[in-house]
Structure 1
Amino acid sequence: MGSAITMRNAEQTGMISSENTSVFKNRNFLFLFTGAFFSAPGYYVYLIGVEWLMLSITGNRSLFGFLFLAASVPRLLFMTTGGIIADRFNKRTILFLSDLSRACLVGVILILVMNNQIAPWHLITFAALFGVSDAFSHPAVNSLTSTILEGEQLQKGNALIQMTNQISPILGPLAGGSFIYLVGFKGVFMLAGAMLLLSSLTVFQIRVNKTKERLNNIGAWSEFKEGIAYVRNHNFLASVMVMALFLNFFVTGPLSIGIPLMVKDVFHADALGLTTLEVSLGGGALFGSILLASIGAIKKPGYLMLASITLFGGLYAISGLGIGLYINAGLFLCIGFLLQFVNVPLITMVQQTTDQAMIGRVLSLLMTVSTGLVPISYLVTSSLIAAGISIQFITITGGLVVAVIALLYFKNQKILSFSYE
């Protein structure tokens, strides 16, 4: 990683470099963690509300798929721009504006619902605007984590941030599904808006030393090309990004679209059935995050990541059989657990092999490349469903392909030989 900082600078930025010191004694990380604890579940409350609302107001299942496509396209288009901005401007301010804008968007949806004027095109439009916001927030939060933490604390910090992201599919759907069932759509969108607003106010309390912000006169296009050149000359980063590109294509569309459709059309369950599967996925992810946060640095993160992907693909293919709601809940519990043994080592490896001056652009490029085929994944999944191909067949095929890709990557020595600094 970058050069060591002095204790004086550590105090100014809220960074505590001792690996034996709790990350929660770091003021900035505490606010970042708290903000993420509100933001991520708030987003999932919004998401489950929008998903079930779309399924309730239209029977067009391919149109439902376009709800996810609408969010993924602007996220892809603006992700690299978000990384450049994260390297040039105050990351705290970016996160604040992102959460505040999403709270305002949910407020508009609430008004439309209260006036009984909501339509599918409204939900698709707001999904696109949420995608724009995500494109700026994700590079900012990941690069900010590596700015305020270092060493072994970085793995713990990443695991804790991932924990807030993965507790979201527990708290978010649990609260959202319950509110839909007991209160209705008005209640679920009020809750989502309040949580996103609280997150924006919390992250605004983060204070980062201005000397840590990168100020220069290099144009955005030049910075973009600089980031591309950096990754192309970095064999490890290039290998990881190519792998992520194909894995996301075969998983993201079928998984995101498939869970609600399996609940509605295969298991014939209600919003609480959707909550069951989402909570199971999040519960497994939460357990995985807690475990990673409590252990030391992994000796062979590359091996662990590839083994987890292989097993994930197999279990995901089995879930496509649609044996039963609660059997799938158990499978998703294991799948969520395994995902953390992919995500946390991956992000930490990228952070530790990237110069701090490039971290925002590299992380945004990773997300851009890894999600580059996600809009196509949504489009292909929606098109296949419209053509009469079952979501079960799509899920089984996707899981098997993921397992094969992971097995092929066991020949990649750059990933297998990686060790934390």
Structure 2
Amino acid sequence: MEQKDKTSVKELFQIKNFLYLVIGAFLSSPGYYAYLLGSEWLMLHISENRAYLGMLFIAASIPRLLFMIFGGIIADRMNKRTILFISDLTSGLLVSFLVALIWMDSVEVWHLITLAVFFGISDAFSHPAMNSLVAEILPDSHLQQGNSVLQVMQSISPIIGPVAGGTLIVTLGFKGVFTLSAISLMLAAWTVYRIKLQKEETPSDLPKNVLEDFKEGLKYGLQNKLLRTVMFVSLLLNFVVVGPLTMGIPLLVKDVFKENALGLTTLEASLGIGLLTGAVLLTVLKSIERPGLLAIGGLIAQSVLLAVIGLMPSHYFAAGILFIFGLLMQGVNIPIMTILQAKTEKKMLGRIMSLLMTASQGMIPVSYMVTSYLIAVGLSITSILLFAGSIMVIFSISIFLMKEIRQMSY
């Protein structure tokens, strides 16, 4: 059985289009994470107003949310390879512009916020294209392993990106980290461009305009009980978790643990290593007998970890918490994504992936706003994390009572 699993993984990489997609993800993600780490630390460096850090995240999340549905419609109508190529290329050019501003010593808060807006728009188009392209390249029988392998490559990136980024900030400054980011994104664009997809005839029943496209995708999604349940769960979880955790990591490093950029690197890299470990385990397992129960168990454990991370005595203990958190995250994300890809009509994949991501992204700006407000009125990030984790524990246990989630299968 073990030999069969290894052969299947090897066969995945014999599919050239999938190989290029994986390499592109491996190159794109570290560039993106290096940019994120650099922009977070640069914002904390140029301004003492911690509210600006929240504005940085909000600036990316709102356009990502607004354009996500349109991104899914475009993914169903256009060559998905082309969408990914344009996304990586424009991201590389945006970071190159930031490098130029740093060389001229002209970076201001509004520059970082504006760049975050453009990155949010780019994400809105690239994510539906990426998730639907996997299902277009691979047969259903390879989807879990394909998603897992792709997650392995993408999970290496949150390790390489922050480690390289934090090291370059300390040794070469912000010029070094953003130059690395721009080069990585440009190389990803070149790799993705090598993907060759067969031209397909446009279906005769394809809606004639964007509005009809949207209505058809929404109707399909609302009639799918599994998708409705997953969207509802994603919306609530992202409201509770994303703002406190995303803003909490740099704030814990800076204000609680009193560490420098390498401390931030340690925490973010630990989360990345956990994501990598979880993806590798799911690749080896090949098939999960009860993916619904795995997802629920992961959510409950993540809830407890979120509550206690701010109580750790040092950033090394917090790094251990984030490692386990990342490992559990893959046990939730990969099975759910695989189920949706397998059970959705191929012609609807772009729109369904965008609906799912719109639901999951829908409360993120609100989460950032609420977290920023709580920080502004004087609540500590430790208290915010403890409160958010406690709410998530109650919510995760309530999810266990949902039959649709417990019985999810491929």
TM-score by length of 1: 0.94
Aligned to 2:261: 271
1:137 to 114, 118, 126: 126
> What is the CA-CA distance between 1:399 and the residue it aligns to?
1.3
**Greater Cα offset, 195-204 or 232-241:** 232-241
In 2, Cα distance between equivalents of 1:213 and 1:148: 18
In 1, Cα distance between equivalents of 2:255 and 2:133: 42
Which amino acid in 2 is paired with 1:148?
I
In 1, Cα distance between equivalents of 2:202 and 2:144: 22
In 1, Cα distance between equivalents of 2:399 and 2:64: 27
Please list, as runs of the form range in 1=range in 2, the aligned pairs for 1:343-382 lying within 5 A after superposition: 343-382=333-372
Structure 1 stretches lacking a partner, 5+ long:
1-17
> What is the CA-CA distance between 1:116 and the residue it aligns to?
0.1
In 2, Cα distance between equivalents of 1:379 and 1:20: 42
Aligned to 2:4: none
In 2, Cα distance between equivalents of 1:47 and 1:256: 11
Does 2:198 correspond to 1:192?
no
2:325 to 319, 335, 346: 335
Deviations 1:133-162 (A, max 9, x none): 000000000000000012331101111111
Aligned to 1:59: 48
Deviations 1:383-413 (A, max 9, x none): 1100101111111111122222121111211
In 2, Cα distance between equivalents of 1:180 and 1:160: 30
In 2, Cα distance between equivalents of 1:20 and 1:366: 27
Aligned to 1:386: 376
SS of aligned partner of 1:42: helix
Which amino acid in 1 is paired with 2:241?
V
For the Cα contact (< 8 Å) 1:45–1:176, is it kept in 2?
Answer: yes
> What is the CA-CA distance between 1:212 and the residue it aligns to?
6.9
Aligned to 1:14: none
**Greater Cα offset, 343-352 or 105-114:** 343-352
> What is the CA-CA distance between 1:414 and the residue it aligns to?
1.6
Which amino acid in 2 is paired with 1:363?
M
Does 2:138 correspond to 1:149?
yes
Give the % identical residues.
48
For the Cα contact (< 8 Å) 2:38–2:178, is it kept in 1?
Answer: yes
1:30 to 19, 35, 48: 19
Aligned to 2:395: 405
Segments of 4+ moved more than 6 angstroms: none
Aligned to 1:90: 79
In 2, Cα distance between equivalents of 1:106 and 1:179: 15
Please list, as runs of the form range in 1=range in 2, the aligned pairs for 1:105-144 lying within 5 A after superposition: 105-144=94-133
Structure 2 stretches lacking a partner, 5+ long:
1-6
For the Cα contact (< 8 Å) 2:296–2:399, is it kept in 1?
Answer: yes
Please list, as runs of the form range in 1=range in 2, the aligned pairs for 1:100-249 lying within 5 A after superposition: 100-211=89-200, 216=206, 218-249=208-239
In 1, Cα distance between equivalents of 2:113 and 2:195: 33
Deviations 1:94-152 (A, max 9, x none): 00000000000001000000000000110000001000000000000000000001233
For the Cα contact (< 8 Å) 1:89–1:213, is it kept in 2?
Answer: no
In 1, Cα distance between equivalents of 2:376 and 2:63: 23
In 1, Cα distance between equivalents of 2:327 and 2:85: 30
Structure 1 residues 214 and 263, CA gap change in structure 2 (3 angstroms): farther
SS of aligned partner of 2:400: helix
Aligned to 1:292: 282
1:319 to 304, 309, 321: 309
Structure 1 residues 214 and 194, CA gap change in structure 2 (3 angstroms): farther
Which amino acid in 2 is paired with 1:306?
I
In 2, Cα distance between equivalents of 1:101 and 1:165: 19
SS of aligned partner of 2:286: coil
In 2, Cα distance between equivalents of 1:308 and 1:64: 29
For the Cα contact (< 8 Å) 2:207–2:213, is it kept in 1?
Answer: no
TM-score by length of 2: 0.96
**Greater Cα offset, 301-310 or 410-419:** 410-419
Which amino acid in 2 is paired with 1:233?
Q
SS of aligned partner of 2:54: helix
In 1, Cα distance between equivalents of 2:207 and 2:386: 50
For the Cα contact (< 8 Å) 2:9–2:145, is it kept in 1?
Answer: no
For the Cα contact (< 8 Å) 1:249–1:373, is it kept in 2?
Answer: yes
SS of aligned partner of 1:22: helix
Aligned length: 403
In 2, Cα distance between equivalents of 1:116 and 1:227: 47
